[in-house]
Structure 1
C-alpha cells in the first residue's frame, strides 16, 4: 500500500510539473512555442488545460487597442485546418481599428499549441478548450468568426454555448455536406498520417492554389505555405502530422450540415463563401463519380443559409475560392465590417 501511495504521489507531481511548462504570462519571444519557430504579430499567451488525462498548453493572442479592455466589444477568430491563428492577422488589424478586443487561439494540435501523442479530437472538445480561454479571461459575450474547419468549430461553439455568442460569422466553413454519405470511402488514420507526414511545398501550394485561390496564385500567398511547412518540418513535425490525421478523421465524421437549422436561434449570423471553393474532405481519395458530387460551394452556400433561416445573411463571391479573406481582403473586410456595424 505504501508503494502504491508513493506511485500516486510521483504521478501527481509529474502532472503538476508538466502543467507548469505553460508560460504564466505573455512573451514577445516565447520559450514554449509548441515546436513552431514562427513569429506572430502579437505576444503569445498560454492557457493550461487538464484534458484527457494530460496537462496541455493552448496558445492564443489577446490583442486590444485600449489599455482598459474591460468594456470593449470582443471578437474571437478561429483558424482552419491548414492555418494558424496568425493567418487572421490582417482581419485582426481591421477589427482592432473597429474598436474590438481580438482573441486568436491556436487549437490543440496546431501551430504554437501542444501537439499531444494521443488525443481524441472532436469539435465538442475543441469548443470546450476554447471556452476555457474565454472563461479565464472573464469574457461572457462575443462575436465569433471562423474559417474552414474554424467555421465548423464556430458553429459547434455557438450550439454548445449560445448564451455567449452575439453574432456568428462562418467563412467557407467545411461540413456543409456529409462526405461519407455522398460516397467518400473511409481512410484509416494511419493512411492519412502517411499523406500528412509527406507534405512539402509542392503538395501544399498545389492544393491551396486549386482550392483557395482558384488557380490565381500571387507571390504573397507563399508566406502561408511556408508558415505551414515550418510546423511540418519542425522538431514536432511528426506529432503535428499525426494530430492533423486525427483532425481529418474528426472533420470527416462530424459534419455540421444536419444541425444548421439549430443555428437559426443565434440572433445574427453571416455566411461568407467563395462560389469557386471546392473543398471536400476525402475528395482526393474518392472515385471520379464521387468527386463530381463534392465541394460545390455555389450550391452549398445558399442551401446552408436557407436552412439556418431568416437570421442568416449570405455573402458570396462568384470568382473566389476557399480563402476570400486572403485573396480579396479589401472587399471581404468591407463586407464584414458593414455587416457588423449594421448588427451592432
Structure 2
C-alpha cells in the first residue's frame, strides 16, 4: 500500500526537493531495502494524505507535514498524535484508524527535523519550541482542547505541551515516554554534537532493526515492522543524508539535555500512562560506564514512579511489550487507549 503511488510521488518530489535545496532525489528502487528517499522523505508514501503547514520560526520559513483524518461519525473530540525519535506520523497508522473509527478527529504532525518536515541547517531545538509549533498548527486547524497523545520522545513533547497549555489540553496520554530519568545525572557522560553526528552517519537498516528489535519489540521481530525500518534507512541512503543526520544530532542533544522528569509533578491535566514493561530504552546507555548501564531504562519502575509524580494519573501496564506497545500489539493497545480516554 505504501509503495503504490511512489513513482508519481517521486517525480513531484524531485521538483519540490530542488526548490527546498535538498538536492536531487534518487530514483526509488522497487526493492524497499535499497530505496533512497529525499531529506523530507520524498518518495515514501504515507497511508493518508499529507498536508503542509507553512510558517516562520526562528527567522526562517519552515514547513510542517501533518495528517488530518476526520471520522465518518464525529464525536466532537480531536486526538493529536506526537511521534517518537525514530518514528513518523505514518507509524501511527493503526491508532489513526482506530481513533477515527471511534469518532475522533486525528491530527498527526511530523515535527520539524523529522520525516516529511523541514530539516533546517540551524535551529534552536527545544521541547518548548516544538510544542509551540504544534500549538500554532492546531490553531490554524481550529482544534481546541485536544487529547494529546505522545510516544517516546513524543511523550516528552506531549508533557511539555500540557505544561505550556494546561487550559487547552483536554487529556494527556504518555506511551513509554523517555525523559522519565535524567541520564546525565545518573552517569551517562557528556556527548558533543560532533559525536552525535558521527554516530548518526553510521545509521543503516541493520543498526535500526537491531536496536528496534531489542528495545521496541522486546527481542521479537515480525516482518510487518520492516517497512518502518526501511522508511528510516532510506533517509540515510538518500542525497540528504548529511542534512538528516545533522538534524538528528541536534535532536539527540535536545533529548539528553532537557529531561522532563523534574516537571512531572507540575502537570495538572488528566493523564493516562501506557507503559510496555519490557522496555529498556535509555539514550546514550552504550556510552555509560559499566556500573551505570544496569541502572538505566527500567520502565516497570519508571512507569510507577511517574504515576506517583503526576497528580491523579492512571497507569496501564503491558507486561509482555516493549518500547512500542502500540506497534507490537495494536489491537490490545488501541482498545486500552480508547477505553482509557473515554474514562477520563
* TM, length-normalised to structure 1: 0.87
| Partners of 2:52 and 2:66 within 8 A in 1 | yes
Alignment of 1:262 with 2:266, yes or no, is yes
Match in the other structure for 1:202: 206
Alignment of 1:41 with 2:38, yes or no, is no
| Partners of 1:115 and 1:236 within 8 A in 2 | no
RMSD: 1.7
Shift of 1:43: 1.2
Structure 1 segments unaligned to the other structure (5+ residues)? 1-19, 22-31
Looking at structure 1, the residues matched to 40 and 228 of structure 2 have their Cα atoms a distance apart, in angstroms, of 18
Match in the other structure for 2:112: 108
* TM, length-normalised to structure 2: 0.87
* Deviation sequence 1:169-217 (CA, Å, 0-9, x none): 0000000000000000011111111111110011110100111111111
SS in 2 for 1:62: strand
Q: How does 1:198-277 map to 2 (within 5 A)?
A: 198-263=202-267, 265-266=268-269, 268-277=270-279
Alignment of 1:288 with 2:286, yes or no, is no
Q: How does 1:47-126 map to 2 (within 5 A)?
A: 47-66=53-72, 72-126=76-130
| Partners of 2:39 and 2:243 within 8 A in 1 | no
SS in 2 for 1:181: helix
Looking at structure 1, the residues matched to 71 and 272 of structure 2 have their Cα atoms a distance apart, in angstroms, of 25
Shift of 1:298: 0.8
Alignment length (residue pairs): 310
More relative contact order in 1 or in 2 (CA 8 Å, sep 6+)?
A: 2
Alignment of 1:327 with 2:342, yes or no, is no
SS in 1 for 2:184: coil
SS in 1 for 2:292: helix
Looking at structure 2, the residues matched to 63 and 234 of structure 1 have their Cα atoms a distance apart, in angstroms, of 29
Structure 2 segments unaligned to the other structure (5+ residues)? 1-18, 21-37
Shift of 1:284: 1.3
| Partners of 1:35 and 1:234 within 8 A in 2 | no
Match in the other structure for 1:169: 173
